[in-house]
Amino acid sequence: MDGIHDMGGMDGFGPIPIEIDEPVFHGEWEGRVYAMNTAIGAWGKWNIDAGRFGIEQMDPAHYLASSYYERWLHRTENMMVEHGLISRDELEGDTPPSGQRSQPLTAEQIFERQRNNKSARVDEDITPKFKAGDSVLVRNIHPKGHTRVPRYVRGRHGTIDRDHGVFIFPDTNALFQGKKPQHIYSVRFEAQELWGPDVAAQDKLYLDLWDDYLDPA
């Protein structure tokens, strides 16, 4: 979807701070949010694309004012309510918990499910729409749901560099509308095609894009 999370190609936000010897977590609560997200995710109530979409729906001002793990917490709270793991009143402390909604997992069960997590790669024989060297045009789409095609390449020309194989399509997977497996390609873009004539002519950008994002040029 189009939102503040799609910040590629935008400027005016200042330099990216680099913290020397940065700790894994800046506070104990961040580690707890990570652990909670991992434990709840092990139930399989949602998938990684749905989780990303949950963050993307944040109000822009709230998104910019939040840290990385604050966004995770916002997403996890909303998805817990949406999938019936807790009510909004319970979450906000207005009512006591009404009882156990799902069988809790042990720590070992969580670790085992994490170890057995499958890749987004799909073992299906699907004919690719493109091959290395093909010229393509990125579709100028503006979906209301999750998408992995950034705004700055929509409507731009590129060249297929390589075919990575068949993977789950995030746009449908995020909305629980099926995996719709298809090929992902590394697409090469000339920097001047994206940013104009003022950038170095030799610079290039490589971006992984699904079949459904591309048309023959």
pLDDT in tens, 46-68: 899 999 999 999 999 999 999 99
109 and 43, same structural domain?
yes
Q: Which domain holds residue 164?
A: 135-216
What predicted TM-score, i.e. pTM, was given to this entire model? 0.88
46 and 99, same structural domain?
yes
- Residue 1 is predicted with a pLDDT of 85
110 and 155, same structural domain?
no
111 and 82, same structural domain?
yes
What does the pLDDT look like over 3-36, one tens digit per residue? 999 998 888 888 888 999 999 999 999 999 998 8
Instruction: Say how many domains are in the chain.
Output: 2
Contact 156, 133 (CB under 8 A): no
Residue at 193 is within a domain:
yes
141 and 96, same structural domain?
no
- Residue 30 is predicted with a pLDDT of 96
Sign of the CA dihedral 205, 209, 214, 217? Answer: positive
Average pLDDT, rounded, for the chain: 91
Residue at 128 is within a domain:
no
What does the pLDDT look like over 94-140, one tens digit per residue? 776 666 566 777 888 888 877 777 789 999 999 999 999 999 999 99
CATH number for the domain spanning 166: value is 2.30.30.50
Residue at 19 is within a domain:
no
Residue at 11 is within a domain:
no
Contact 154, 139 (CB under 8 A): yes
Locate 1 and state its tokens: 């979807």
111 and 53, same structural domain?
yes
86 and 58, same structural domain?
yes
Binned at pLDDT 50, 70 and 90, residue 92 comes out as confident
Q: Beta strand pairing status for 157-167 and 204-210?
A: unpaired
Asked which of 47, 82, 115 is the last residue of a domain, the reply is: 115
CATH number for the domain spanning 49: value is 1.10.472.20
Residue at 48 is within a domain:
yes
Residue 184 pLDDT greater than 70, yes or no: yes
105 and 66, same structural domain?
yes
User: How far apart (Å, rounded) are the C-alpha atoms in residues 42 and 117?
Assistant: 9
Please provide residue 121's backbone torsions phi and psi, each rounded to the nearest 5 degrees.
-70, 140
Asked which of 81, 115, 149 is the last residue of a domain, the reply is: 115
What does the pLDDT look like over 199-213, one tens digit per residue? 999 999 999 999 999
152 and 100, same structural domain?
no
